[in-house]
Amino acid sequence: MPSQKNSSEGAGSVLATVSGPSTGKLPGSLVSGKAIPSDLLQKVVGTAAITSAMPNNPNKAAEYGDAADTPPQGATVEPPSPAVTGSTVSETNASAKVGSGNPPQGVNATIESLDRVRVDSGGQHLTTNQGVAIADNQNSLKIGLRGATAMEDFILREKITHFDHERIPERVVHARGSAAHGYFECYKALTPMTKAAPFAEDGKQTPIFVRFSTVAGERGSADTVRDVRGFAVKFYTDEGNWDLVGNNIPVFFIQDAMKFPDLVHAVKPEPHFAMPQASSAHDTFWDFASLMPESTHMLLWQMSDRAIPRSYRMMQGFGVHTFRLINAEGESVFCKFHWTPVAGTHALAWDEAVKICGADSDFHRRDLWEAIEAGAYPEWELGLQVFSEEQAEEFEFDVLDSTKLVPEEMVPVIPVGKLVLNRNPDNFFAETEQVAFCTAHIIPGIDFSNDPLLQGRIHSYLDTQISRLGGANFHEIPINAPVAQVHNNQRDGMHRQAIARGRVSYEPNSLGGGCPFQAGAMKGFTSYPEPVTADKVRGKAERFADHYSQAKLFWKSQSPVEQTHIIKAFRFELTRVQTQAIRERVVSLLANVDDVLASGVAEGMGFPVPPPAPNISTLPEHTYEPSPALSMMSYPGTDIKTRRVAILIAPGVDGVMAKAVYTSLVDAGAVPRFVSNNLGEIAAAKGAALHAEISIEAGPAVLYDAVVVPDGADSVAALLKNGQAIEFLKEQYRHCKPILVMGAATSLLEKAGVPLMLPSGEVDTSIIGPDHADIKAATAAFIDALTKHKELARETDPPVV
């Protein structure tokens, strides 16, 4: 072959994209500037060099036998220049759209903070989605002022078409939700037990996004229904996204994912008339549950106050399943995840929850948003229950059974970090609605157990996101994108955002210099090599068959008032069931838990307790001691931050007193509101006039955690004639909330029929004022009462007030 110096031989193959000579040398560099651009020649020569440097796949042997236990790092070749592995040599041509002409190397530029996609239109004119300025946004294009609308009106068509497609399919479950950004901070590195990134260093902070939700209701349902609450946390770690997708209850209804569609179909509105919405109080749910005795434990949780939390900020969260932690040496332990709210665990009364549904169906959503806007950032402590496989084998229950929990008396909860929510989303749809959680999203240091419910969720969550968010590229939606770099050979599909550079979309390769290459065992995710020797079967392990021991544990661990609430909840739900056989079947399950529980429910239903349902377990029943951690009363919280307090006022109020209480409450972190019959200026008998912040109609009693009625003869006289004010006090009393009345305002208690003594004959310490002449001392006592749990000792059945 002739010398390549100053030769154009082979230039045609360099300039073409199909075929090329199999012999000879590539054109020399001096040809550049003539027939072949220098950057193209550089690309072709460099491509030949890196492919020649990899004559075979040196790692192939590592895929087989014992060598597969420790996959090596992928083989690579360093390209002589960035152009070699690029898609096109024209990538250096810059514009406002394609970029600077200096494409990033080894970086996924789509993974940045959400600032890159935030939009603010201040001071800007309207445009179409293509950026064309809109002159008239009031009128469609017509043939004459009274003529037909022209089909050529592309501005109208774009606007209407986009509007028609603004809604995406809602989640099958957990459709109703609210979310916020924040961070997780690790107290101390957990490297002896896990190499997971969030736990790698003392004080390390990991950005997170948390979504709370109800399970059964549709997207437009109310917040305060009786339901399980989702507690899903997306950790944007520096080693990829980890989704801890849990609930506010540590157990579940079923043991195997095979039954999940049945459960959801049963609890959803009945298909023939689509009722009831966001409620389990109907025949199909209780028919299913009564035929699934393994659900008994979960049913007690669902009928407890846990299912009607006062706030998302005041409920616990649990990972539900048993997971694995794996350290750098490949050693594994089992783990349960617990979130405990700093604000304590508090609940709504059922009567209160029902009325809130009408007064403010967005009660929990509003509460979360307002707390963050106010700077009272919600906070939880993360605790771990860690135990070995050997310990798990000694338990009388199976840790792979999601209807069971691990009592804290057996395995203590170790505090390891805190979660703080400190930023509300910019856009509900773009973030809260489009966020995609998936139990399959784990990172090195975290792994699955063989829990059959978890195993099914691993598939289900990924599958549903593909359907709901329009395809396999939902991970490119900004809220779902990780902060860790993404590099793989996945391509195309609906709504693809990333524009992959280069011609290579497979591995192994040589044309891309071997990149992207597998990370190897030291850096990449490797599953725990759990040895398994068993037949393929459909069934459950023997220890799964104990359906009542832990239900008994939960019942025994509740306070007497909490037990009463559980009985009343069962009564309410089953009263709405039409089919008598279903009611009796449910009570037959409860008969295996506790006689008082079963008889209390049956009595309310008007029939005797039926024989207990068959207990199918062949193992001896285990008896647990009560576990205080299972009662909400164990977590009262420490302050009154964001607690809502109504201050009822009317003309003639003691303005000095009202303002003093208001100021003290604000200083303590509460949210007081002056509530009056109407908005406007309220003349005060003492001090300057007050300004009503909300009317008693717009802000009824159920929306507040406590009430204050200041002194003032004329004000009290007006309130005594106001039926809504009297009812306000009645509801605050009936829902066991603190009440502060000063001076003449004590007469309102008598008018409302509110006793100063508890049914037990003891003094009601949550009614403050009659024995306090000093407003400062009274306010301090009121704040102290508000810090604690409700005064549940007031409750009688039926209510006396």
Distances (CA, A) of 659 to 192, 647, 678, 749: 55, 10, 19, 22
H/E segment holding residue 181: strand 177-186
Tokens of 79: 């390209």
At 720, the amino acid letter reads L
First to last CA, the chain: 107
When computed from its CA atoms, the radius of gyration of the chain, rounded to whole angstroms, is 33
Distance between CA atoms of residues 272 and 264, nearest Å = 16
- The residues, ordered by sequence, that sit 6+ positions from 459 with a Cβ below 8 Å of its Cβ are 440
Distance between CA atoms of residues 220 and 275, nearest Å = 14
What own/partner pairs with CB < 8 Å and gap ≥ 24 does 139-146 have? none
- The residues, ordered by sequence, that sit 6+ positions from 55 with a Cβ below 8 Å of its Cβ are none
Distance between CA atoms of residues 529 and 34, nearest Å = 59
Q: Is 50 exposed, middle or buried (0-12, 13-18, 19+ CB in 10 A)?
A: buried
- The residues, ordered by sequence, that sit 6+ positions from 539 with a Cβ below 8 Å of its Cβ are none
Q: How many helices (H) and strands (E) does the chain have?
A: 19, 20
Residues that are catalytic: 174, 247
- The residues, ordered by sequence, that sit 6+ positions from 282 with a Cβ below 8 Å of its Cβ are 270, 275, 276, 576, 577
Reported as half-sphere exposure (CB side, CA atoms, 13 A), residue 49 has a value of: 14
Please answer whether residues 557 and 627 qualify as being in contact, where contact means their C-beta atoms are separated by less than 8 angstroms: yes
Cis omega (within 30 of 0) for bond into 444: no
Tokens of 442: 């784990």
Distance between CA atoms of residues 184 and 380, nearest Å = 9
Q: Please give the backbone phi and psi of residue 98, each rounded to the nearest 5 degrees, phi first.
A: -75, -15
Helix spans in 501-540 (H): none
Q: Are strands 706-709 and 644-648 parallel, antiparallel or unpaired?
A: parallel
For residue 404, give the nearest of 257, 255, 612, 538 by alpha carbon: 255
Tokens 């009263």: give the residue.
Answer: 575
Angle, CA 386 vertex, CA 385 and CA 387 arms, to 5°: 125
Tokens 């739900």: give the residue.
Answer: 573
Burial 619-648 (b: 16+ CB within 10 A, else e): eeeeebebbebbbbbebebebbbbbbbbbb
- The residues, ordered by sequence, that sit 6+ positions from 506 with a Cβ below 8 Å of its Cβ are 489
For residue 299, give the nearest of 625, 619, 587 by alpha carbon: 587
- The residues, ordered by sequence, that sit 6+ positions from 735 with a Cβ below 8 Å of its Cβ are 348, 349, 351, 352, 701, 702, 790
For residue 443, give the nearest of 198, 273, 691, 715 by alpha carbon: 198
H/E segment holding residue 467: helix 452-468
Distance between CA atoms of residues 769 and 348, nearest Å = 25
Angle, CA 551 vertex, CA 545 and CA 552 arms, to 5°: 115
H/E segment holding residue 389: helix 389-394
Distance between CA atoms of residues 801 and 360, nearest Å = 24
At 24, the amino acid letter reads G
- The residues, ordered by sequence, that sit 6+ positions from 109 with a Cβ below 8 Å of its Cβ are none
